[in-house]
């Protein structure tokens, strides 16, 4: 199991996203650059995209919305801030739709993402 800090995991995920958008920069390049095995790379990607399910299960008994935000969506929202233009819009729209599927309300999504509820509604109508 990989014991890297959250910040290191976010950097690895950013490199992974970069490799997906570039033809000449592959997953193998990411593994060498970030000094991580391929299986650990995919484990980190799964944890960021799907959330840390072990910690989530422990936390759900306390407060559902805060736990789901903390363990599933928070890292993704921090990564979205690094992008601009169409890429950021598409990633934000996907995040909003995923949060809505998990039962978050429009105002609640806006509060967690620091966006106006009208913008959240707009993105939800777009897809």
Q: Please check whether residue 117 is in contact with residue 87, taking contact to mean a CB–CB distance below 8 angstroms.
A: no
Sign of the C-alpha dihedral computed for residues 81, 78, 20 and 34 taken in this order: positive
Q: Would you give the distance in Å from CA 28 to the centre of its chain?
A: 22
What is the pLDDT, as a whole number, of residue 118? 94
Is 58 among the domain residues? no
CA distance 78 to 81: 6
Q: What is the mean pLDDT of residues 59-84?
A: 80
Is 28 among the domain residues? yes
Phi and psi angles of residue 91, each rounded to the nearest 5 degrees, phi first? -65, -40
Q: Please check whether residue 9 is in contact with residue 44, taking contact to mean a CB–CB distance below 8 angstroms.
A: yes
Domain that holds residue 35: 1-50
The DSSP 8-state label assigned to residue 81 in this structure reads T
In this structure, the answer to whether residues 46 and 3 fall within a common structural domain is yes
In this structure, the answer to whether residues 80 and 127 fall within a common structural domain is yes
98: enclosing H helix or E strand: helix 85-101
In this structure, the answer to whether residues 85 and 43 fall within a common structural domain is no
Q: What is the torsion angle, in degrees rounded to the nearest 10, for the CA atoms of residue 24, residue 28, residue 30 and residue 31?
A: -170
Is 79 among the domain residues? yes
What is the pLDDT, as a whole number, of residue 108? 92
Q: Please check whether residue 92 is in contact with residue 83, taking contact to mean a CB–CB distance below 8 angstroms.
A: no
Burial 109-120 (b: 16+ CB within 10 A, else e): bbebbeeeeeeb
What is the pLDDT, as a whole number, of residue 86? 87
Q: What pLDDT digit, counting tens, does each position of 84-119 carry?
A: 888 888 889 999 999 999 888 999 999 999 999 999
Q: What pLDDT digit, counting tens, does each position of 36-68 carry?
A: 999 999 888 888 887 766 666 666 656 677 888
In this structure, the answer to whether residues 72 and 117 fall within a common structural domain is yes
């Amino acid at each position: 199991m990989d014991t890297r800090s959250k910040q290191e995991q976010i950097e690895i995920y950013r490199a992974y996203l970069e490799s997906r958008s570039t033809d000449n920069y592959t997953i193998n390049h990411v593994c060498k650059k970030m000094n991580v095995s391929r299986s650990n790379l995919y484990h980190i990607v799964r944890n960021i995209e799907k959330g840390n399910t072990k910690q989530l299960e422990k936390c759900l008994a306390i407060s559902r919305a805060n736990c789901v935000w903390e363990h599933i969506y928070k890292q993704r929202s921090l990564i979205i801030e690094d992008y601009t233009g169409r890429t950021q819009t598409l990633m934000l729209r996907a995040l909003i739709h995923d949060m809505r599927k998990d039962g978050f309300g429009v105002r609640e999504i806006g509060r967690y993402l620091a966006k106006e509820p009208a913008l959240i509604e707009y993105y939800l109508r777009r897809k």
